[in-house]
A and B are shown apart, each in its own frame.
Chain A
């Protein structure tokens, strides 16, 4: 099996310390993005408490400010911080201390206080006041078109072409993007490179990819691009910092290309192919970031789903769809188009060929109407999807993120009923007011948007196939003494990385080595120090 390229954000973990330092030093937006997107809540707090501290803080200080029962969280936070080269251990006045890496601290402080120079956050340019200035809707449409083109290409051009109406063809993705998909093992392109569009096939990873949310997808491609940068004679840190720079810009404003380097201009073209930025046709003096760009570093599900909704609403171009969405006034938390009943029947209010093609991956479609597609989740259709590499989780998350407001309202109402029942658990027998079809969640307040019977069944269908579960990790064995085995094993369990153990053979298996390794080293040093 070929080496799998790193999935999305894990790519950053593969960077060398020197490269990360250079990224932090040259680009405050990168420092902000990594802080905001990748660190856990506790790690963020450690960074901010160190940020303006004049001296390094002793290690035991962090033990004092963290609750004892949050020890696992603490170890996780420090592993993260060390992995991304944000803090390091030093010795200060004879004590073991934690200090923040100056390159990161300087950049992040510049973000916070806004001082410094070099225009790290982009020069806003004022384009000539003409009618050609794109509105936000137009930017959304641009990114949606580009992105649909890519996904449509992956799902299979032929299927799409049969479905779509004349005059609404999706654009073919640019050569560079196709190359990215190929390098990332998302598609395989056949020998006839010139007619590559027709000789391609989607891989198992590609199937999984098309069902992910748009933010995950785009980062996957961007990191693939960063990785491929060196083959295109670009420096990967420059590319990465430019992507983070784009992510920090504001939607709807024009930014000047005046100060950009040759590399950055080259990246800009690719980003335009992906729909992340919009380049006006007639001039190269400025560019517009799209909604895809401005939400790149957001991690809240609210903003992400609103991105998806805003984009997917522009997707439904047919007027029938518009009437439909007016008839069902949208819930603020989202306006999907899929209704899934507890009897596995599915109704999708969509005319988009792409969405229909996606649905057909795991649903046996029955009929297509003016604005509606009907189908059914069957064992055969789900298992066929699982055979191609899609997981049950991906199907469920796709269904729930595109659920129709009616389903959301239903789930919310049910949740409220269950909640009030839980509150009045003492007087439970007086109720019996509403017939609730799933009675499993009395103790659990959250009701899934997708009916729980369906969720369970999809999982079961997958389990019929998956009888083995793999966890990459580290196997630790050959302990010299029982006491040492016990201490290490217990520590591994406490910080929540121990997956399997055998007390008799004195061996255990962990999925993350950093914490345990540090602990074992520490133990060894202490043991040798006392004797």
Chain B
């Protein structure tokens, strides 16, 4: 053995004369709040379960809804067992409505917290009581939801009301944050009259956002969407608005996609800093629980220490047009309200804000003026002169000619 490690525990004496600077540092401002950092902030996880009957019917062979819900329950229990103060809320995004699964909304008292459900589960001494209550409430509500779904409502809408569910989730999160946070003062909410804050929600530098720079004692929140439905372009505007709201409130949107196309939800995860995973094969879906436990269980605080999985490359940033809900690669944007259209407007009036828009010379072939100086062979063909030609997509002004 090269090194001797003393077997006994020793006591080191540090004479304060030698390290007096360290001792003095302990008295200045840096030390006062040190004890508070140890406590983990409680976390509220809001889960939106896509219960679209069409999509689950397609998945019935590999992953029936009942099995997915059972896995989800284990995941929820794991979340609750991480911290005594952790909370959970579950919403169903059904075909024509968004419904609470947990906590059960109180039927006649709208201002009730909903935490104490009136229905008591059967006593089962093998389950941790809070978990048993949650499971009972969630399954009861899910059964009620499925029972009250009429064949007519299923056939009338093939999609799911995700935007509605997200909105309800956001209202719930705001309410919970308000009731648990430290005493509220006026300037903690987003100041819409402050011109320095960007209303579009594109600048999210945490230092300039009052909401994010709150103390660590605050409830940390996140939303997990378990999505099975494909085309969501029908509610594009509503969806993007809720996504930007999440971004503004710094609520990460985690997406677990079991089937269907990804377009907007991948954008959502990317914009809000959440995790996007898509389980496309039956083998992957069979490991749903492990994916949930591994990728989605760590709360934002724990994620700081982890390399998180997820598909961040190749995000599909395409938008849907406001007129026909088509997903477009290149579209036309109203210069007043930034609405997107897939084709030029017939009468030149924006469908949303009513502004009169001039299409200028759209559709006309650009007039190519012969250059005075002759361009070199090979590269000359690629250069275009942009003067006087309005391209609606780029908002006027041609491609600048690189200096010769």
* Stretch of A39-47, A221-229, A352-360 at the chain-chain interface: A39-47
The answer to whether the Cβ of B367 comes within 8 Å of any Cβ in the partner chain is no
Given A119-B125, A467-B16, A468-B16, A53 and B290 touching (CB < 8 A)?
Answer: yes
The answer to whether the Cβ of A3 comes within 8 Å of any Cβ in the partner chain is no
Given A445-B213, A509-B12, A73 and B2 touching (CB < 8 A)?
Answer: no
Per the 8 Å Cβ criterion, residues 184-216 of B in contact with A are 185-188, 207-208, 210, 213, 215
The answer to whether the Cβ of A517 comes within 8 Å of any Cβ in the partner chain is yes
User: B174 contacts which chain A residues (CB < 8 A)?
Assistant: none
Per the 8 Å Cβ criterion, residues 467-502 of A in contact with B are 467-480, 484, 488, 499-500
Given A36-B84, A64-B307, A114-B126, A423 and B6 touching (CB < 8 A)?
Answer: no
B179 with A332: CB separation less than 8 A = yes
B84 with A297: CB separation less than 8 A = yes
CA distance A64 to B84 in the complex (A): 29
- Count of A-B contacts with CB under 8 A? 231
Interface string of B119-142 (1 = CB under 8 A from A): 000011111111110010000000
CA distance A477 to B182 in the complex (A): 49
Closest A residue to B299 by CB, please name it. Answer: A41
The answer to whether the Cβ of A87 comes within 8 Å of any Cβ in the partner chain is no
B128 with A248: CB separation less than 8 A = yes
How far does the Cβ of A44 sit from chain B's closest Cβ, in whole Å? Answer: 6
Per the 8 Å Cβ criterion, residues 396-428 of A in contact with B are 397, 408-409, 412-413, 415-416, 419-420, 423
B5 with A476: CB separation less than 8 A = yes
Per the 8 Å Cβ criterion, residues 5-62 of B in contact with A are 5-6, 9-17, 23, 26-33, 35-36, 39-40, 42
A interface residues, tally (CB under 8 Å)? 97
B290 with A475: CB separation less than 8 A = no
Closest A residue to B196 by CB, please name it. Answer: A424
Q: Name A114's contact: one of B2, B36, B128, B301 (CB within 8 Å).
A: B128
* Stretch of A6-14, A18-26, A121-129, A152-160 at the chain-chain interface: A121-129
* Stretch of B74-82, B270-278, B322-330, B332-340 at the chain-chain interface: B74-82
Given A52-B290, A111-B128, A419-B213, A298 and B29 touching (CB < 8 A)?
Answer: no
The answer to whether the Cβ of B153 comes within 8 Å of any Cβ in the partner chain is no
Question: Which of A113, A120, A250, A408 is packed against the most chain B CB atoms within 10 Å?
Answer: A113
CA distance A45 to B132 in the complex (A): 23
Closest B residue to A40 by CB, please name it. Answer: B40
A36 with B81: CB separation less than 8 A = yes
Per the 8 Å Cβ criterion, residues 358-402 of A in contact with B are 393, 397
User: B73 contacts which chain A residues (CB < 8 A)?
Assistant: 113
Given A468-B14, A471-B12, A121 and B306 touching (CB < 8 A)?
Answer: no
The answer to whether the Cβ of B362 comes within 8 Å of any Cβ in the partner chain is no
CA distance A452 to B28 in the complex (A): 9
Q: Name A500's contact: one of B12, B74, B290, B302 (CB within 8 Å).
A: B12
Given A302-B180, A463-B27, A474-B9, A420 and B85 touching (CB < 8 A)?
Answer: no
The answer to whether the Cβ of A249 comes within 8 Å of any Cβ in the partner chain is yes
Given A302-B85, A452-B29, A470 and B12 touching (CB < 8 A)?
Answer: yes
Question: Which of A44, A115, A477 is packed against the most chain B CB atoms within 10 Å?
Answer: A44
How far does the Cβ of A461 sit from chain B's closest Cβ, in whole Å? Answer: 11
Per the 8 Å Cβ criterion, residues 294-328 of B in contact with A are 294, 297-299, 301-302, 304-307
B307 with A66: CB separation less than 8 A = yes
Q: Name A444's contact: one of B17, B30, B85, B132 (CB within 8 Å).
A: B30
Question: Which of B85, B183, B185, B207 is packed against the most chain A CB atoms within 10 Å?
Answer: B183
The answer to whether the Cβ of B241 comes within 8 Å of any Cβ in the partner chain is no
CA distance A49 to B296 in the complex (A): 10
How far does the Cβ of B398 sit from chain A's closest Cβ, in whole Å? Answer: 37
A300 with B83: CB separation less than 8 A = yes
A121 with B125: CB separation less than 8 A = yes
Per the 8 Å Cβ criterion, residues 138-163 of A in contact with B are none
How far does the Cβ of B38 sit from chain A's closest Cβ, in whole Å? Answer: 9
The answer to whether the Cβ of B113 comes within 8 Å of any Cβ in the partner chain is no
B210 with A299: CB separation less than 8 A = no
Closest A residue to B86 by CB, please name it. Answer: A300
How far does the Cβ of B324 sit from chain A's closest Cβ, in whole Å? Answer: 43
User: A331 contacts which chain B residues (CB < 8 A)?
Assistant: 183
How far does the Cβ of B78 sit from chain A's closest Cβ, in whole Å? Answer: 6
CA distance A530 to B208 in the complex (A): 54
Question: Which of A49, A441, A452 is packed against the most chain B CB atoms within 10 Å?
Answer: A49
How far does the Cβ of A46 sit from chain B's closest Cβ, in whole Å? Answer: 10
User: B82 contacts which chain A residues (CB < 8 A)?
Assistant: 36, 41, 44
A409 with B183: CB separation less than 8 A = yes
Interface size class of B (residues with CB under 8 A): 35 or more
CA distance A59 to B155 in the complex (A): 51
The answer to whether the Cβ of B245 comes within 8 Å of any Cβ in the partner chain is no
Closest A residue to B133 by CB, please name it. Answer: A250
How far does the Cβ of B138 sit from chain A's closest Cβ, in whole Å? Answer: 13
Q: Name A301's contact: one of B4, B39, B128, B290 (CB within 8 Å).
A: B39
B298 with A45: CB separation less than 8 A = yes
Given A301-B39, A468-B15, A480-B3, A114 and B132 touching (CB < 8 A)?
Answer: yes
CA distance A408 to B185 in the complex (A): 12
B26 with A121: CB separation less than 8 A = no
The answer to whether the Cβ of B293 comes within 8 Å of any Cβ in the partner chain is yes
Q: Name A470's contact: one of B13, B187, B301 (CB within 8 Å).
A: B13
The answer to whether the Cβ of A207 comes within 8 Å of any Cβ in the partner chain is no
B123 with A477: CB separation less than 8 A = no
The answer to whether the Cβ of B358 comes within 8 Å of any Cβ in the partner chain is no
B306 with A66: CB separation less than 8 A = yes
The answer to whether the Cβ of B345 comes within 8 Å of any Cβ in the partner chain is no
User: B145 contacts which chain A residues (CB < 8 A)?
Assistant: none
The answer to whether the Cβ of B289 comes within 8 Å of any Cβ in the partner chain is yes
How far does the Cβ of A40 sit from chain B's closest Cβ, in whole Å? Answer: 9
User: B131 contacts which chain A residues (CB < 8 A)?
Assistant: 111-112, 114
A412 with B83: CB separation less than 8 A = no
CA distance A463 to B124 in the complex (A): 56
How far does the Cβ of B42 sit from chain A's closest Cβ, in whole Å? Answer: 5
How far does the Cβ of B79 sit from chain A's closest Cβ, in whole Å? Answer: 9
B39 with A470: CB separation less than 8 A = no
Q: Name A300's contact: one of B16, B40, B298 (CB within 8 Å).
A: B40
The answer to whether the Cβ of B217 comes within 8 Å of any Cβ in the partner chain is yes
User: A488 contacts which chain B residues (CB < 8 A)?
Assistant: 3
The answer to whether the Cβ of A333 comes within 8 Å of any Cβ in the partner chain is yes
How far does the Cβ of B139 sit from chain A's closest Cβ, in whole Å? Answer: 12
User: B304 contacts which chain A residues (CB < 8 A)?
Assistant: 67, 70
User: B10 contacts which chain A residues (CB < 8 A)?
Assistant: 472-475, 509
CA distance A305 to B331 in the complex (A): 56
B14 with A471: CB separation less than 8 A = yes
A513 with B5: CB separation less than 8 A = yes
How far does the Cβ of B76 sit from chain A's closest Cβ, in whole Å? Answer: 9
CA distance A116 to B128 in the complex (A): 12
B4 with A478: CB separation less than 8 A = yes
The answer to whether the Cβ of A275 comes within 8 Å of any Cβ in the partner chain is no
* 22 A/B residue pairs, CB under 8 Å, sorted by A: A41-B298, A42-B306, A66-B305, A73-B305, A113-B74, A113-B77, A114-B127, A117-B126, A249-B129, A295-B84, A299-B83, A333-B183, A408-B183, A440-B28, A469-B23, A471-B14, A472-B10, A474-B9, A475-B12, A476-B4, A484-B2, A488-B3
| Besides the known contacts A44-B302, A467-B16, A520-B3, 14 further A-B residue pairs in the complex with CB atoms under 8 A apart | A45-B302, A70-B306, A73-B305, A111-B77, A119-B125, A120-B126, A121-B125, A300-B42, A301-B217, A332-B183, A466-B16, A467-B17, A500-B12, A517-B5
Could you tell me which A residues sit within 8 Å of B by CB distance?
A: 28-29, 32, 35-36, 41-42, 44-45, 48-49, 51-53, 64-67, 70, 73-74, 110-124, 248-250, 295, 297-303, 331-333, 393, 397, 408-409, 412-413, 415-416, 419-420, 423, 440-441, 444-446, 448, 452, 455-456, 459-460, 463, 466-480, 484, 488, 499-500, 509, 513, 517, 520, 524
* A-B residue pairs, 8 tightest by C-beta: A119-B125, A298-B84, A300-B85, A114-B127, A70-B305, A416-B185, A446-B33, A480-B2
